[in-house]
């Protein structure tokens, strides 16, 4: 089925387009099979971390759901709107579906990615079956056009909030995404669907295959694992070698020549820059044993280091991309109001990465705005410091960050 590309066509900067290396848009299709790619060129992916359009953000969109929360300190989702307004001023409500993406829409227009992938960390449901876990995210299904507004092709769902409103909430989430023609991976009505990849055919370039997994280290309850006849998520038991082999077997069973394979993983705690040795070994083994081309990590509330292994990118933690955390005190040293959009160019011929560019934004009034020069410099120094630990450097070119990949 054709993928809807519904983001707002804003006038973009010619300079930004040149800096990002904009190219003609190739419309992707979700199909079971596709011929191997021919010719030369690159496949461009846009990867973002956690997109949390529930709770406070849901309340400012055109169709807010029930604001009821089950949290100990906040009983109404409107409380998060009020916190944000106390810091940065009133948000005129309701906003449009495009509003929350702000300046990111112009960047997307210039980049024109072949596939745009995010980790959607909310349940999209009217279910009132609140799971007692402390924090519960939901967005009203009628607000799903906000996902199409950013041209999002694939939502990974193997995370610790997609089942916040029970099995019924997950099933409604899947149904809502299907109606919107947005593909998903990492959750399903049963184990078979939860483990299935999202598959995109990019005409003239080949297939992009996206698998999604979660780990309990990110706060996912073990009970949420999908089973033969019950809904849930695609949960990894650990990061051991036999788990790598299981993932490899799954990929090999459906892999076609020329496939570009992305594995998206929700793993690790919310805060801290350290990359555990087990994560590094697992990510590298995915490339060595399973033939994975891109590892898309998330769960951390801030960006983490990037590694290049055998010419393939490992993004250990993309950080949050869109949240309602504005005005919440704590962990200010990580600047989680600053977020990144990752633009990856990979060669069609061998899937090796040519460029990794990061576009900085700042969240303000639940909207993505281009980061100031001072904020871009803070992100550059922070990411360069962390990437050097893994043998890479980050350069700053005006308001774009580039990983030195060669």
CB 264 within 8 A of CB 156: yes
Element (H, E) at 369: strand 368-370
Res 40: pLDDT: 45
* Nearest in space to 290 (alpha carbons), one of 307, 276, 309, 318: 309
- Helix (H/G/I), strand (E/B), else coil: 300: coil
In three-state form (DSSP H/G/I as H, E/B as E, the rest C), the secondary structure along 183-202 is EEECEECCHHHHHCCEEEEE
308-313: Cβ within 8 A, 24+ apart: 308/353, 308/391, 308/392, 308/403, 308/405, 309/283, 309/284, 311/350, 311/352, 311/353, 312/287, 312/351, 312/352, 312/353, 313/344, 313/353, 313/356, 313/403, 313/405
Whether residue 160 contacts residue 213, with contact meaning beta carbons closer than 8 Å, is answered with no
Model pLDDT for residues 53-63, shown as the tens digit of each residue: 999 999 999 99
B/e letters for 270-303, b = 16+ CB within 10 Å, e = fewer, are beebebeeebbebbbbbbebbebbbbbbbbbbbb
Give pLDDT tens digits for 301-311: 999 999 999 99
**Secondary structure letter of residue 403 according to DSSP:** E
Separation between Cα atoms, residue 377 and residue 294, nearest integer Å: 27
SS3 state at 348: coil
Q: How far apart are CA 373 and CA 389, in angstroms?
A: 25
What pLDDT is attached to residue 387? 98
Residues of the chain with pLDDT under 50: 1-40
- Closest among 164, 34, 145 to 95, alpha carbons compared: 145
pLDDT of amino acid 406:
86
Q: How far is residue 162's CA from residue 232's CA, in Å, rounded to a whole number?
A: 9
Distance CA 61, CA 138 (A): 13
* 338-347 vs 353-363, strand pairing mode: antiparallel
Per-residue confidence (pLDDT) for residue 145, from 0 to 100: 98
Q: How far is CA 185 from the centre of its chain?
A: 11
pLDDT at site 28: 38
Bond prior to 94 in cis (omega within 30° of 0): yes
pLDDT of residue 398: 86
**DSSP assignments along 306-347, one per residue:** EEEETTEEEES---EEE-S-TT--S-GGG-TTEEEEEEEEEE
Instruction: Give the count of alpha carbons within 13 A of 254, CB side only.
Output: 19
Query: Global pTM?
Result: 0.91
């Amino acid at each position: 089925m054709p993928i809807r590309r519904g983001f707002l066509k804003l006038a973009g900067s010619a300079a930004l387009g040149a800096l990002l290396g904009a190219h003609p848009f190739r419309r992707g299709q979700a199909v079971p099979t596709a011929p191997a790619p021919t010719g030369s060129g690159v496949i461009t992916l846009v990867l973002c971390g956690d997109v949390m359009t529930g709770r406070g953000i849901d309340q400012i969109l055109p169709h807010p759901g029930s604001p009821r929360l089950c949290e100990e300190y906040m009983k109404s989702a409107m409380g998060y709107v009020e916190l944000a307004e106390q810091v940065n001023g009133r948000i005129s409500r309701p906003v449009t579906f495009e509003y929350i993406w702000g300046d990111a829409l112009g960047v997307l227009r210039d980049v024109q990615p072949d596939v745009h992938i995010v980790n959607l960390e909310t349940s999209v449901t009217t279910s009132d079956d609140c799971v007692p876990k402390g924090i519960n995210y939901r967005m009203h299904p009628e607000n799903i056009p906000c996902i199409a507004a950013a041209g999002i092709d694939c939502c990974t769902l193997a995370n610790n909030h997609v089942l916040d409103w029970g099995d019924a909430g997950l099933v409604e989430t899947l149904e809502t995404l299907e109606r919107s023609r947005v593909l998903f991976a990492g959750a399903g009505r049963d184990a078979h669907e939860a483990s299935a990849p999202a598959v995109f055919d990019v005409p003239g370039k080949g297939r992009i295959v996206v698998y999604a997994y979660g780990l309990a280290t990110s706060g996912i309850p073990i009970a949420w694992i999908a089973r033969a006849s019950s809904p849930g998520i695609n949960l990894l038991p650990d990061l051991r070698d036999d788990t790598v082999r299981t993932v490899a077997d799954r990929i090999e069973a459906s892999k076609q020549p020329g496939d570009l394979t992305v594995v998206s993983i929700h793993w690790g705690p919310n805060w801290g820059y350290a990359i555990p040795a087990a994560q590094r070994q697992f990510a590298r083994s995915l490339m060595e044993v399973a033939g994975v081309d891109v590892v898309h990590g998330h769960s951390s509330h801030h960006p983490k280091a990037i590694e290049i292994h055998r010419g393939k990118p490992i993004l250990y933690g993309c950080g949050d991309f869109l949240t309602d955390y504005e005005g919440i005190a704590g962990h200010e040293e990580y600047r989680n109001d600053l977020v990144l959009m990752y633009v990856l160019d990979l060669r069609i011929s061998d899937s090796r990465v040519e460029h990794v560019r990061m576009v900085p934004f700042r969240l303000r009034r639940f909207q993505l705005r281009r980061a100031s020069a001072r904020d871009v410099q803070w992100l550059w120094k922070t990411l360069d410091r962390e990437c050097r630990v893994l043998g890479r450097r980050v350069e700053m070119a005006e308001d774009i960050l580039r990983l030195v990949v060669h």
